[in-house]
């Protein structure tokens, strides 16, 4: 499997519910980032969490990082129809490399 692999691949929930997406990676990292991509559009940066951080919040978003398990989760609370998008986690490639390694993404659908 690839560095930065998301789970589940697709998630469909009702508006107002919480959505949780997970990401696993293989190598040691300096940081992990979450991005959102609306269909046919570019990527929007959501949150960057550093390897020495365990949790970070931004509005309705909550990101956790467990470096011992090499995993991260993105929680969206009180989901809205506008949250419908694909969500990607991306890690640096380690060893000082600047490139980002992306997973396949989770396609989130919020049903009204």
Partner 1 sequence: NAGVMQNPRHLVRRRGQEARLRCSPMKGHSHVYWYRQLPEEGLKFMVYLQKENIIDESGMPKERFSAEFPKEGPSILRIQQVVRGDSAAYFCASSAAGSPLETQYFGPGTRLLVL
| Sites of contact with partner 1 (CB under 8 A) | 2, 4, 30-31, 33, 35, 40-45, 48, 50, 88, 90, 92-94, 96-105
Among residues 43 and 75, whose Cβ is nearest to partner 1? 43
Residue 78 CB, shortest distance to partner 1, in Å, is 25
Among residues 31 and 67, whose Cβ is nearest to partner 1? 31
Q: Which long-range contacts (CB under 8 A, 24 or more apart) does 75-81 make?
A: 75/18, 75/19, 75/20, 76/18, 76/19, 76/20, 76/108, 77/18, 78/16, 78/18, 79/13, 79/14, 79/15, 79/16, 79/17, 79/18, 79/19, 79/110, 80/15, 80/110, 81/15, 81/110, 81/112
Among residues 18 and 54, whose Cβ is nearest to partner 1? 54
């Amino acid at each position: 499997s690839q560095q930065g692999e998301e789970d589940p691949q697709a998630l469909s929930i009702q508006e107002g519910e919480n959505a949780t997406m997970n990401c696993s990676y293989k190598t040691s990292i300096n940081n992990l980032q979450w991005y959102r991509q609306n269909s046919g559009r570019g990527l929007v940066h959501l949150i960057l969490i550093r390897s020495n951080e365990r949790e970070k919040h931004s509005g309705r978003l909550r990101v956790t990082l467990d470096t011992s398990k090499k995993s991260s989760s993105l929680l969206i609370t009180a989901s809205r129809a506008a949250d419908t998008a694909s969500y990607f986690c991306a890690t640096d490639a380690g060893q000082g490399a600047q490139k980002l390694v992306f997973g396949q993404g989770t396609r989130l659908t919020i049903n009204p």
